[in-house]
Structure 1
Amino acid sequence: MSDSNEVLRTIDLFCGAGGITEGFRQAGYVSLYGNDAMPEAIETFKYNHPEAIADGRSIEETDPAEIRKRLGLEVGELDVLVGGPPCQGFSINAPERFLNDPRNKLFTYYERYLEEFRPKAFVFENVPGLLSLGDGKVFRQIVRIFGGLGYKVTAKILFAAHYGVPQERWRLILLGSRFGEIAHPEPSHYAVGRANFRGGSTMTFQLNETDRHRLKSPVTVGEAIGDLPRLAMGEGSEIAGYTNDAHCSYAESVRNPAGVTFNHYAAKLSKQNAERMKHVKPGGSWRDIPHELLPKGMQRARKSDHTKRYGRLRNDGLSGTVLTKCDPHWGTVFLPDQDRTLSVREAARFQSFPDTYKFLGSRVSQYVQVGNAVPVLMAKAIALTIRDHLDGLRPQPVTDESIGDLLTPVDVR
């Protein structure tokens, strides 16, 4: 079905800025088409993936059959469909009405594209919380829908740090194939995170001490961003030259050979937040801030409240989940050794985007695009395991040994 030298083709629904598409590109795929209704995100996708058709219409306005014909594909010819539609509407007591809920039109369109294109394989990504909707009934209904279309479906919750991403981020990944089961990519890096959600102990890779010595060390915050130009609040620009040499293999792998990067600007903080920041040590949070300096609402918070608000990163740790807002009131956004918050480029480094990847639109929009993305290196690992699966379907050459393996000895007694 697939030649290892063949360029495999994808289309990406709900593509956002193109994190999955970039991961698949790095694995040797080519994207034919991307769709997302966020204007700034689709412009970013278009800029970074000029080979693909970038469609900014709402997916409800698109016709899967028209798109397939426009791409010149026969039914069953597409290699991989990728996407992650939200699945918000559900009925606990009647999950069979899942598709009738108007909030699930986006999932319905993912299904329609799957039916129209009949790709060899698909990737469906979502938040782990999907497993809890309707006590798991919605998830089981989704798997039944995919299975009813002729796909063998496997599901696992992947931890981004297991694939060299310097970030604590969990994603539910469903893989489907018309030709058998696809195994999820094995971790390449040793990292441990809190899997405090349904499926955390049964649907994740459980690593042990043997794995600690067998696998690569996780990529830390310091390794991820330590070579980028240091900035004070209000400094930086949309195009920035490097001022430091690459200091580790991760930095070398993501740096732009042209010697510049993009979207590296340090926002100014309010006077109150700048004062609060001074009290937070690396690895610390709002608990380090004097009580009288806390926002009124947080003055009533309990110390046992395990939020990461007003948190400061540690150079020797992982980033928390990259958020769609670079706001200290939302999470850990203070740098370990600079008194400022993350630039868009630093957030993109935590998502394993290469420095050549440019985010368009307002700076607020850029943070949203980065925060909504699937980490590039995790997507690349998924892409490579699908390629291995499709490569395994190729007809193998017939040899004397393979003929012998197929022959069954005959008992002539």
Structure 2
Amino acid sequence: MIFKKGELFSGPGGLSLGAKMAKIKDPTSGEILKDWGIEHKWANDYDPDACSTFGKNICGDPDDSSVHCGPVENLPIGDKSILGEIDCFSFGFPCNDYSQVGEKHGLNGKFGPLYSYGVKVLREYQPKFFIAENVGGLQSANEGQAFIQILLELQDCGYTLTPHLYKFEEYGIPQARHRIIMVGIRNDLAEEGIEFKVPAPLVTDPSDYKTAYDAITNPPIPEDASNNELPKHTERVKKMLSYIPPGGNAWHADIPEELRLKVKGAKLSSIYKRLDPKRPSYTVTGSGGGGTHMYHWNELRALTNRERARLQTFPDDYVFIGSREAVRKQIGMAVPPQGAQIVFEAVLKTFAGIPYKSTDPSFDVEILKEKQKLLFEDLSPDQKQFVFNI
């Protein structure tokens, strides 16, 4: 079965590359089942550079007409003469308002409500399955109510949900990136026995995690690789970096007073933080000011965008389009393709009836619903709105 996939908030294509790479094998012969896979049908993002990157790498053309660039509010969801029929759907709805390093506006922020367009797609198209992704901070936004609200709306579209907090370093990704991924199987198919299970971690011993050193140096990045321009720094920054050991940051005790940052407030751990070559990297991010670009464990510089792409498991021939900062944003906001591939392959195995090792999901939707009921059943409508807006 070949599933045709639609996607919202597609970014540079991390989820779609993972879907494209997803293959399953015959458990007896070990041969790849060529009649099982996922094909791109249409996608949308508001960022022109990300759309060009997606088109070039996923479709083979930066201007491919199946990539609809513009605000999701203007997308003709449901008009199947433009956005054709699909069998599956994915959306990594914007995380800005749920991130632990953001202002945590949750559903009340500018980006928080955008998940509702994914809900609209599910209602209009009723695909066989969907995959939704967001940051781990989603579970605590709006006192935990944002997560429950989103789960309830997805469930009400007619889907059996399996939400789980994936720790990507446990799946062979060289990065401590923790994301909530929600897999939904359409209820009629779930009733027929199509039951998705969370794929079990591939690495259980932290000493076996893939390291940042491994990801960036093995094999060496080709000299002609795209998006690999070396960043430039002032002598002051390079001198400060020389006092910071691998794994350390701008607040390290060995930094001389005259080189210390004069910053009031919280001492963010990611400021001028150098990678520890013996561990997975810390989370690759898509934005931030000076000192947040991730720093090499040995050389006195920030990482190149290609090195950051390596930590995100993009292949070296994946070309990102845009300015250096635009590319940085695309890479940081993406889902690691190899992580997405693992989830998509588990879904394909579910539909093909091929068993695989699994683990218990992090969340039970019914327990979360009961918790919400117990917390809020005695509150007046005004009190509920007050709590929800915290």
Identify the TM-score tier after normalising by the shorter chain.
0.7 to 0.9
| Range moving further from structure 2, 57-66 or 133-142 | 133-142
Alpha-carbon deviation of 1:57? Answer: 1.5
**Deviation by residue 1:237-296 (Cα, 9 ceiling, x = unmatched):** xxx844xxxxxxxxxxxxxxxxx5221111101222111111112222221422221121
Contact 1:161–1:191 under 8 Å retained in 2? no
Aligned match of 2:75: 62
281-290 vs 264-273, which moves further: 281-290
CA distances 1:92-119 after superposition (whole Å, capped 9, x unpaired): xxxxxx9899755522211111111100
Runs (5+) with no aligned partner, structure 1: 1-5, 91-97, 193-211, 230-239, 243-259, 394-413
Aligned partners of 1:166 and 1:81: how far apart in 2? Answer: 27
C-alpha separation in 1, matches of 2:48 and 2:96: 22
Provide the C-alpha distance between the structure 2 equivalents of 1:71 and 1:146, rounded to a whole number of angstroms: 21
Structure 1 vs Structure 2 CA RMSD = 2.6
Question: Contact (CA 8 Å) 1:309, 1:329: kept in 2 or not?
Answer: yes
SS in 2 for 1:359: coil
Partners of 2:113 and 2:288 lie apart in 1 by 30
Alignment of 1:47 onto 2:56: yes
Q: 1:378 aligns with which of 339, 342, 355?
A: 339
Q: CA deviation at 1:345?
A: 0.4
For 2:5, the equivalent position in structure 1 comes to 10
Question: Which letter maps to 1:279?
Answer: Y
Q: Distance in 1 between matches of 2:108 and 2:19?
A: 33
Match of 1:315 among 258, 270, 277: 277
Match of 2:233 among 258, 265, 269: 269
2:87 to 67, 79, 102: 79
1:357 aligns with 2:318: yes
For structure 2, the residue ranges without an aligned partner over 5 or more in a row are 23-36, 99-105, 355-390
Q: Does the Cα contact within 8 Å between 2:247 and 2:275 map onto a contact in 1?
A: yes
Tell me if 1:225 matches 2:220: no
Is the 2:4–2:40 Cα contact (8 Å) retained in structure 1? yes
The alignment's TM-score, normalised by the length of structure 2, stands at 0.76
Taking the aligned partners of 2:247 and 2:261, their CA distance within structure 1 comes to 20
Q: Specify the alignment match of 2:366 in structure 1.
A: none
Q: 1:88 to 1:361 in 2, by over 3 A?
A: closer
Residue correspondence of structure 1 range 194-343 to structure 2 within 5 A: 217-227=208-218, 241-242=222-223, 260-286=224-250, 287=252, 288-297=254-263, 307-325=269-287, 329-330=291-292, 333-343=294-304
2:204 corresponds, among 190, 193, 208, to 190
Question: 1:325, 1:277 → 2: CA distance?
Answer: 21
- CA 1:391/1:227 → structure 2, altered by over 3 Å: closer, same or farther? closer
Give the equivalent residue in structure 1 for 2:306.
345
Change (3 A) 1:218 1:314: same
| 1:172 maps to 2:172 | no
Contact 2:41 2:84 in 1 (8 A): no
Which stretch of structure 1 is more off in the superposition, 57-66 or 351-360?
Answer: 57-66
List, as ranges, runs of 4+ consecutive aligned residues in structure 1 with deviation greater than 6 Å: 87-90, 98-102
* Cα separation, partners in 2 of 1:283 and 1:328, compared to 1, 3 Å: farther
Question: Match of 1:123, SS?
Answer: strand
> Comparing 179-188 with 118-127, which one deviates more in the overlay?
179-188
The Cα of 1:70 is off from its aligned counterpart by 3.2
Superposed CA deviations along residues 213-255 of structure 1, whole A, max 9, x for unmatched, are xxxx2211111111466xxxxxxxxxx844xxxxxxxxxxxxx
Spell out the pairing of 1:57-136 with structure 2 (5 A cutoff). 57-66=70-79, 68-70=80-82, 72-73=84-85, 78-86=86-94, 104-136=112-144
CA contact (8 A) 2:286 2:328 kept: yes
d(CA) in 2 for partners of 1:89, 1:47: 29
- Aligned-pair distance for 1:86? 3.3
The code of the aligned residue for 2:329 comes to V
Shift of 1:127: 1.1
- Identity over aligned pairs, percent: 31
Moved more, 266-275 or 178-187: 178-187
Letter in 2 for 1:297: V
Specify whether residues 273 and 380 from structure 1 end up closer, same or farther in structure 2 by C-alpha distance, changes over 3 A only: same
Whether the aligned pair in 1 keeps the contact of 2:5 and 2:89 (CA below 8 Å) is yes
Give deviations 1:147-174, integer Å, cap 9, x for gaps: 2121001111001111211001000111
2:46–2:72 contact (8 Å) kept in structure 1: yes
